[in-house]
Amino acid sequence: MIDRYPPPAPVRRRFRDLRDRLFTLLVGACGIGVILAVLAIGVFLFVEVVPLFGGDTPASETQATTEIDFESLWLPQQYPDYETPRYRWQANVLSEDDTPMFSLTPLAWGTLKAAAYALLFAIPLALGAAIHSACFMSRRLRHRLKPALELMEALPGVVIGFVAGLVLAPYVERHLVGALALVLILPLGLLVAGVVHSCLPATLARALSLSRAGLWLIPWLALLVALAMVMSPYLEVVWFGGDMRAWLEQQLGLDYAMRNAMIVGLAMGFAIIPTIYALAEEALSGVPDSLSEGAQALGASRWQTLWNVILPAASPGIFSAVMIGAGRAVGETMIVLMATGNTALMTLSPLDGMRSMAANIAIELPEAAAGGTHYRVLLLCAFLLFVFTFCVNTLAEIVRGRLSHRYRRLGGLA
């Protein structure tokens, strides 16, 4: 063997050692700085919130803080103008005898409702895409798809919120039946495509291979969308007697708000799909080849391998992908702010709006006088969001760490 790298001269080596050590220190300092910054945010929020629950307010404070207990934040309260106790968020104060109403329950409800609808939309699509691209898609197509999804992730929330609130919401309101028809027709149409594909003669089936299903399905999907839109006026007459909104109101007692949970779910789902997809795809394609090859050698079909070997092996990774997606959905501000009416309602209906904690902070923090009760209640919201996302992300990271450990034990690359 030829020694192509002669040992470096002592002086150069010493210089290199010094440089290495310097950079290690620098990088270490940056890392510690980031961790300290995150902790400092948590501590700041905590310190600002403490006076709400009867801690000592600093003497220099110019704003009085009214003490608030757990009960008045989370349980229904009896307010002057109403007959029954209720959950209300109303921070605007007109005069001295006007009582602000700080009930966090509707805000927490709105936050979780928005996240739940977003996940409802995003999980099937993101996981389906991840499974398809990790297990079925050709390598070339996968390399094209990934940048496209990353681009989707780079879209700012304001843009998505704007499109959802000012373009999508009015459009869906005008074509409500079409939107409903899409939800029914698309999955059915895909099933039909699968059945037809399995009946195709061998030559045609080879031309339309499964690894490129993402491409040849596009015209078929476009056709289904067009069909749903063309059919929607007739469907409205047949199913809902000509006016779906009136039907909803009369038959189900539901009022359709233009900016509702459905729109938010769609918009925020769109925003968290790339996150869930990227993490789930990583977990799925990290499953050691020896496992799936072993299963197929024992006679399992592709589908059986997927369900019984790959998915169980990657399940912690998929779980952590969903958790991180949920964390992002809970903290997302601009989409919820712009795509809902910010109505602090507490209903489950997908046709009602909601007001989330993050959006509420964005709306009201600029008006809250620093140090006042309103300000501190808003920071309490921020603190709760911080704790929630901190826990969710930590949990997801722990699970992910276990996963890579498991893969290493099973003999994979990761």
CB of 115 to other proteins, least distance (A): 20
Binding mask 231-250 for other proteins (x = CB under 8 A): --------------xx--x-
CB of 110 to other proteins, least distance (A): 11
71 or 96, CB closer to other proteins?
96
**CB distance 205 to 240 below 8 Å:** no
Count, residues near other proteins per rule CB under 8 A:
44
CB of 100 to other proteins, least distance (A): 10
Interface with other proteins, residue 95, by CB under 8 A: yes
**CB distance 110 to 357 below 8 Å:** yes
Give the CA count within 13 Å in the CB-facing half-sphere of 35. Answer: 6
**CB distance 118 to 268 below 8 Å:** yes
CB of 268 to other proteins, least distance (A): 17
Cα–Cα distance list, 369 to 68, 96, 238, 337, 365 (Å): 17, 16, 56, 22, 8
Cα–Cα distance list, 13 to 16, 247, 384, 409 (Å): 5, 81, 52, 38
CB of 25 to other proteins, least distance (A): 38
Q: The tokens of 227 are what?
A: 């069909």
Cα–Cα distance list, 350 to 279, 340, 346 (Å): 28, 11, 11
Residues 29-48 touching other proteins, rule: CB under 8 A, are: none
CB of 210 to other proteins, least distance (A): 43
CA separation for the pair 33, 169 (Å, rounded): 43
88 or 146, CB closer to other proteins?
88
Interface with other proteins, residue 258, by CB under 8 A: yes
Residue 89 has φ and ψ, to the nearest 5°, of -115, 115
Per-state percent for the chain, helix, strand, coil, to nearest 5 = 75, 0, 25
28 or 170, CB closer to other proteins?
170
CB of 330 to other proteins, least distance (A): 20
CB of 52 to other proteins, least distance (A): 18
CB of 150 to other proteins, least distance (A): 29
**CB distance 320 to 389 below 8 Å:** no
Residues 365-394 touching other proteins, rule: CB under 8 A, are: 366-370, 372
Interface with other proteins, residue 289, by CB under 8 A: no
Interface with other proteins, residue 352, by CB under 8 A: yes
Residue 77 has φ and ψ, to the nearest 5°, of -120, 155
**224, 228, 257, 324: which one contacts other proteins (CB under 8 A)?**
257
**341, 393, 395, 404: which one contacts other proteins (CB under 8 A)?**
341
Q: Which residues lie across from 77 on neighbouring strands?
A: 86
Residues 172-211 touching other proteins, rule: CB under 8 A, are: 173
Q: Which among 229, 247, 225 is positioned nearest to 238, based on CA atoms?
A: 247
Interface with other proteins, residue 93, by CB under 8 A: yes
User: What are the contacts of 300-304 at 24+ separation with CB within 8 A?
Assistant: 302/135, 302/136
Stretch of residues binding other proteins (CB under 8 A), selected from 22-30, 82-90, 207-215, 314-322: 82-90
Residues of this chain that interact with other proteins (CB under 8 A) are 62-63, 81-82, 88, 90-96, 98, 106, 166, 169-170, 173, 245-246, 249, 255-259, 337-338, 341-345, 352-353, 355, 363-364, 366-370, 372
